[in-house]
Amino acid sequence: KQEVTQIPAALSVPEGENLVLNCSFTDSAIYNLQWFRQDPGKGLTSLLLIQSSQREQTSGRLNASLDKSSGRSTLYIAASQPGDSATYLCAAKTGANNLFFGTGTRLTVIP
Amino acid sequence: EPEVTQTPSHQVTQMGQEVILRCVPISNHLYFYWYRQILGQKVEFLVSFYNNEISEKSEIFDDQFSVERPDGSNFTLKIRSTKLEDSAMYFCASAAGAGELFFGEGSRLTVL
């Protein structure tokens, strides 16, 4: 069964800093990997999707990379802002339907 | 921008009662999902639905759970006889194909 782990569990950085969030998965036979943002008590907002054949995807200040062979993905956030404060979840899709989620990294950007 | 909508946003019910959570997926999507998140825990897969039938379900999705697409727009999750441990946030998601999933804001279920 796919296990997804995210490190660190929580991260606090000053505004303007660049940061990296890590995600690892045990089964490298994934279809894709998706990064989400979750604000407290809210739903999941999709940030980036990386297909298994891709190495990275970029959207604005966000860049996600994927290394299937080592079972790792990273989410890079450039020039962090207080509005980036949220929990970031990665989810690996194995099989046709099922997303396996990590427990998330809770990010706090200090003004 | 198209979005997945869920109702109710919060439901409180007594143990043993039936609950129906409703979802309106994005209109041109063909794949529909229910996930749940118990407070402080991971988001967990419950069930996927395609072509008017369940395509995959997890161990959590036992006989107490059922899903239905009663018309062209709604996708519902029914819990027949709620238990305390069913208290969670329930998320509906939809996808156009095998790629990106789009999630709703969730329905918080509290079982007393």
| pLDDT on residue A89 | 97
| pLDDT on residue A96 | 63
Q: Show which residues on chain B lie within 8 Å of chain A, measured between beta carbons.
A: 6, 31, 33, 35, 41-45, 48, 50, 55-56, 58, 91, 93, 98-106, 108
Provide the mean pLDDT of chain A: 94
pLDDT (tens digit per residue) in B18-38:
999 999 999 989 999 999 999
Provide the mean pLDDT of chain B: 93
Own/partner long-range contacts of B54-60 (Cβ < 8 Å, ≥24 apart)? B55/A96, B55/A97, B55/B31, B56/A95, B56/A96, B56/A97, B56/A98, B58/A98, B60/B36
Residue B49: both structure tokens together: 């639905």
| pLDDT on residue B97 | 83
Say whether B103 and A45 touch across the interface (CB within 8 A). Answer: yes
| pLDDT on residue B25 | 95
Q: Show which residues on chain A lie within 8 Å of chain B, measured between beta carbons.
A: 31-32, 34, 36, 41-46, 49, 51, 89, 91, 93, 95-103
